[in-house]
Amino acid sequence: MTFTEKDEALVKESWDIMKQNIPEYSLRFFSIILEIAPAAKNMFSFLRDSEEVLQNNPKLKAHAVKVFKMTCESAIQLREKGEVVVGETTLKYLGAIHLKNGVIDPHFEVVKQALLRTIEEASGDKWSEELKCAWSVAYDHLAAAIKAEMKEEV
């Protein structure tokens, strides 16, 4: 599938909406992950180590934002270059972090569903099949790059 200028615009537009309320959407994103896979909670050090409720967790917010931002950047790259190029060190680092925390392939589907649902809620009547498809494609490319790196680490 080619990633068109329109796809890129769709992704950027919904990211702009999300940016207006980062605390709400990052919390929502994470809550949906835990709804689908409650056991995932123990994987996140910022939850293990703190008694703080999700709402006030600055680390959660910062992490969730990175995930959205990276997916958004991968959309831009897909359109510009036709592939996702994450910096070599970043990718190695992400591969290692996820491997270390016990992330396995099926988890990526959970995070994908949570990401899409968050965007669906955030974008309201702007939500469409096209928008969903654009984010899915961008996410899948990014996820594939991280998964590949995780396999190399073994």
Site string for ligand HEM, 53-82 (x = CB under 6 A): ----------x--xx--x------------
| Residue 49 DSSP SS3 | coil
Q: Which one of ligand HEM, ligand ISQ, none interacts with residue 64, CB within 5 to 8 A by kind?
A: ligand ISQ
CB 60 within 8 A of CB 46: yes
Tell whether residue 127 is a contact of ligand HEM (CB under 6 A). Answer: no
Region of 1-9, 16-24, 77-85, 140-148 interacting with ligand HEM (CB under 6 A)? 140-148
Rounded to whole angstroms, what are the CA distances from 134 to 24, 82, 119, 128, 142? 23, 13, 12, 10, 13
Shortest Cβ distance from residue 27 to ligand HEM (Å)? 16
Which is nearest to 86 in space by CA: 26, 45, 16, 147? Answer: 147
Shortest Cβ distance from residue 90 to ligand ISQ (Å)? 13
